[in-house]
Amino acid sequence: MRSAAVIGAGSWGTAVASILGGKGVRTALWARSAEVAEAITTEHRNPRYLRELTLPEAVWGTADVEEALDGADVIIVATPSQAVRSAAEAMAGVWNGRAPIVSLAKGLERGSLLRMTEVLADVLGHREMFAALSGPNHAEEVSAGIPSATVISAYDPALGVALRDLFMTRTFRAYTNPDIVGVELAGAAKNVIAVAAGMSDGLGYGDNTKATLMTRGLAEMSRLGRAEGANPLTYMGLAGMGDLIATCTSRHSRNRGLGERIARGGTVADFEQETGMVAEGAVSCMTVDELATRYGLELPIAHQVRLIVHDGVAVSSAAGALMGRDATDELHGMDLIDS
């Protein structure tokens, strides 16, 4: 794979383009704005995201999807989850059906509740050509060369290995995991728990509270994955616990930051206007809750986050609602061992 196209010039798309370009892969970084694309090409920087990052010479910008995909050996979709369908539709008449497509988006599509690779397959067909990359990967740290790791899951195991080798660097270690259902669902659900963790921070709660939210949140994530046929062990790995830790605790975390903002009286709109970024948990708290309802599952943390973010329920009421639930076994509903 000597050439690549990254669709989406946000923080993570820019960081991934830098990884590939740094390995000598000629990489087109597609941006909605022609001005941003021009700066990427001529100044080797993204004027909106990761502004301090100098992009490798092999990275160039474009605002034309057809130009970005022309000759690309691999395509990386780095848009927010709710824009993946429109990105796929833009590629539909251009993609040659041979270049693998990697989704970086973490979420479920509103309405359909499809995972991101399912959305791509719904529009483009050729499911065997799709993969997902997920893990504790804050763009700010990855782009600075701080040691990090990720997991790549593909419908075709051979493709997963090829992509693993493509992304691997001295500071960015890649692993494969064949459980694409678990990898994608974990990426969507952990953002909801991170919003809850941020709300805990905003209310001034302590480490005990956050640790409780994270571990009980992991139980919810695993429960949902089990219903969809995921491997429970995936939730112990990079896409599960690894990403959950990073997203619930980091100062870089958009979702944790959103929760903290809401707990202090702000809104989703306030957060997005100030940061210029999308916090996926704002939508995922709805889609994850709806998917749980489809399976008849109890995900109390996700449900409370949804009530707070979208139904106007007071943040302070969530603690009482969660702490007042009936006592039960810690592994209730997880069924990790088949009888």
Domain span at residue 217?
185-323
Beta-strand runs (E) in 130-286 = 130-134, 148-154, 172-176
Position 137 scores a pLDDT of 96
pLDDT above 90: residue 43: yes
Same domain, 169 and 257: no
Position 338 scores a pLDDT of 37
| pLDDT, tens digit (0-9, with 9 covering 90-100), for 108-150 | 999 999 999 999 999 999 999 999 999 999 999 999 999 999 9
| pLDDT, tens digit (0-9, with 9 covering 90-100), for 223-241 | 999 999 999 999 999 999 9
Kindly list the catalytic residues.
190
Residue 79 placed within a domain: yes
Measured CA distances, 17 to 50, 55, 133, 271, 281 (Å):
12, 8, 14, 26, 24
Residue 117 placed within a domain: yes
**Can you tell me the distance from the alpha carbon of 73 to that of 5, in angstroms, rounded to the nearest whole number?**
8
Same domain, 15 and 48: yes
| pLDDT, tens digit (0-9, with 9 covering 90-100), for 54-93 | 999 999 999 999 999 999 999 999 999 999 999 999 999 8
Same domain, 295 and 220: yes
Same domain, 30 and 60: yes
Ranking 166-170, 242-246, 329-333 by mean pLDDT, the lowest is: 329-333
Phi, psi of 58 (to 5 degrees): -75, -10
Position 92 scores a pLDDT of 95
**Residue range 5-20: mean pLDDT, rounded:** 97
Same domain, 125 and 234: no
Position 103 scores a pLDDT of 98
**Can you tell me the distance from the alpha carbon of 199 to that of 245, in angstroms, rounded to the nearest whole number?**
15
Phi, psi of 146 (to 5 degrees): -75, 130
Residue 125 placed within a domain: yes
What's the domain count of the chain? 2
pLDDT above 80: residue 325: no
* Residues contacting residue 29 through CB under 8 Å, at least 6 positions apart: 6, 9, 13, 14, 17, 37, 40, 46, 55, 59, 60, 61, 62, 68
Q: Which of 157, 178, 199 is the last residue of a domain?
A: 178
Domain of 117, CATH number, reads: 3.40.50.720
Contact between 11 and 140 under an 8 Å Cβ cutoff? The reply is: yes
Position 198 scores a pLDDT of 95
Residue 224 placed within a domain: yes
Same domain, 168 and 284: no
Measured CA distances, 227 to 161, 185, 290, 296, 297 (Å):
27, 11, 13, 10, 9
**Residue range 257-277: mean pLDDT, rounded:** 88
Domain of 282, CATH number, reads: 1.10.1040.10
Same domain, 84 and 119: yes
Same domain, 100 and 236: no
Residue 318: band (very low, low, confident or very high) from pLDDT cuts 50, 70, 90 = confident
Position 333 scores a pLDDT of 61
Q: Which of 138, 161, 178 is the last residue of a domain?
A: 178
Residue 339: band (very low, low, confident or very high) from pLDDT cuts 50, 70, 90 = very low
